[in-house]
Structure 1
Amino acid sequence: MSDLIVVGGGAAGWSAALTAAQAGLNVCILEKLGESGGSSALSGGCLAFAGTDLQQEQGVEDSPDLLFADLREVGKEENDENLVRTYCDRQLEVYGWLKDSGVTFSPTLETASGQSVPRVHTVDPADLVRNLARAAQATGKVDYHPSCAARELIRENSRVVGLVTTQGEELRAKRGVILASGGFAKNPELLKLFAPHYEEAVFVAGDGSQGDGLRMGWKLGADMRDMAYVKGTFGKHPTDESNDHSLQAVYKGAIAVNQNGKRFVDESISYKLLGDAVMAQPWRTGYQIMDQAIFDTGDDRVRILDFGRRLEEGLFYTGDTIEQLARQIDIDPEVLNETIARYNSGVDLGEDSEFGRKHLVHRHGSLCKIEQPPFYAYPSTAVVFGTYCGLRIDPKAQVIDVDGQPIAGLYAAGEVTGGFHGAAYMTGSALGKAIVFGRIAAESCAQP
């Protein structure tokens, strides 16, 4: 019998396994697929941290309190204040723990969705999971079971004491079970139930994202949070299958127009809300329009800003004039010219007159005109990378039932949980919460 069972071999699961092993627990970790990684390894590799040495070296003033304020604002205060506070209080320590565990961060810092200052800390996401797994297994206290899925939880005397695998094997643990099994972006039944408005969106997630953990907790009476806020990320090329990541040119100064050549949103808001906006447009598609000056601010080391590689792959439309660009994307040149001229006049005034955009992203960055040729257009729709909702947990990562009480012996971390993001999303907070609450769940299990 193990001390602890962890379900899921993504960032949350391996963070929990490593933390528990470092605390002296014997851990059994199950991974549904043949190898670890899940949706974590497919992510953009962004982590939202505040007050780091990287920020200090680059003169960025940030703090847990500013991070807290941004997370609450971008979530429209629909998120659980206690979870957000816990994340902000723990994230800097977790950043150091990751570095101690062999995780390497890019020296580049970026400002993205929901952020007031540059706080996107970037890693290779697959390497992140591999490093955590390697460090966990090196402790000699972790028993890893790939190609092994959980089917249902075992509860005795009101306490979760183990689980049954899909092969019918019964596994038990002295301290409990941590669900780190991811979301349900690959489960059409659950998507139809909770996110019918995204039925025609593009979905990119780990093949194991079937909602297994959600269903197991649900069966025991677990409460759920944020189920109404399943959203897609704006910026996915609608026809390209070789690059699953969205492109965020809007946060560098581009504007978003629909097929009619009209802007339809304040481009500085969370790209989850931008996803809602583009799904309401004709053919559920728009274009990110920029000039050469904006294009030159891209960073090919950051997946959401790799303009150069996308150009080499032929994913951009280009034109020496706005008229040439408009004709290539079947937009009336006069309309697109008028749209850009109106936006540029708003830049001169410090705020656009149509949608009230004042910054590049959230509360950061000054608006810039679109005027330096050549001009670029990037077709963009919404892509659902994760479901960002699920089991209700408390700040100790205990799963909470519909009566507001902890389900003894059951913990959860990562995408299987809800309540942290609220109505929208900050870049880097999903991967960040997976690791932070993975550690917290393990620490809770390790307590006497």
Structure 2
Amino acid sequence: MKIFDEIESEVQSYARSFPRVFNRAKGELMWDEEGNQYLDFLAGAGTLNYGHNNPLFKQVLQDYIQSDGITHGLDMHTKAKGEFLQALNDKILKPRNMEYVVQFTGPTGTNAVEAAMKIARNVTGQQNIVTFTNGFHGVSLGSLAATGNSHHRDAAGVSLNGTHRMPYDNYLGKNIDTTEYLDKVLADSSSGINSPAAIIVETVQGEGGINAASIEWLRNLQAVCKKHGLLFIVDDIQAGCGRTGNFFSFEEAGIEPDIITLSKSLSGYGLPFALVLMKPELDQWKPGEHNGTFRGNNLAFVTAKAAIDHYWSDDNFSREIKRKGKYISERLGSIVSQYGEGNFTTKGRGMFQGIDCVSGELAEKITKLAFKQGLIIETSGADDQIVKLLCPLVITDQNLKKGIDIIESAIREVCAGEQDIPEERVYFEAC
């Protein structure tokens, strides 16, 4: 650990919560250098939906590298890119009657968001983007302006502009439809809200606290966009690629975004990869107007195609996610009913769920104790008050149960007042 203390920046975050040197991972399991085994309910913050070192993807990647396949190609045409596009079109877009143009951006989610907001502004001629309370869209300046979290916003060092903040679903209470407020201010020339270019929204706010918008709210939001001529952008970077049960998190609502951003688990293997899907009429870029040196990550194209081919050629995988999501809901509901003196609540949908512990301090104690029992799990929300489950979608039933058992054990112990856990009390499972 000495080298990390000596020269790595203080900006490191997850390393503080999980102070171990990890050196091996497989599926939903990770091991540190001492051979201790952990269940991974963080999964690269949603990047490893298909698990660590998925053997199906690893083999095709090894074969591709062994054959001297193109690794880096800027935005030139390559076989790997063409095969990915074909798989995406044939197995994801066409079966859903989705006609979109694909833009390859820099390989991070924030770059995809930057591109989406930029094209919306260029097409409409308007500057501002409507964003929502507790939203998280990245930490580059444009995306950060759309992000609500003050911890990240305060680090910008400059004024963040170009956005209008609106209340997300349930932000003002369960009986208030905040799309009605949005409709009102857009219709009122004296509201102080200039005609925006677009709205950008997460159907489930991951970093914002596992806030899941209702189906009705999403449909109403799309209707407001159409009424006022706003482009509708869905940021599906963390909630997409199956996390909520379908490939896209908005499918259940039956809505049709104008622009969609994807990243995180898109590559399938944890390789950097991001893209923007846009309606064909919106593709008004001039050549090279939005670019990036690493927008042609061919290794990611190879594994992304493998992920689509194996998991999304039919609806079997989707049904499995929904089955596991139902089990998670039942278990978390039971835990909430037993602990927290009626103050705990469940949040989210599919395999994108969590427990609101009200207090960030309490949630931190729970996740720290869970880590001592061999479970890697993080918190989210404005005050880090949500214990956030983000395990790989391919997790076995046995390990899903085991992970939730650890969460329940940690909650039971913390709620019972046994909060000062000696450092030597570690429940690691040997490799």
TM tier, shorter chain? under 0.3
Give the structure-1-normalised TM-score. 0.22
Greater helix percent: which structure?
Answer: 2
Greater strand percent: which structure?
Answer: 1
Give the structure-2-normalised TM-score. 0.22
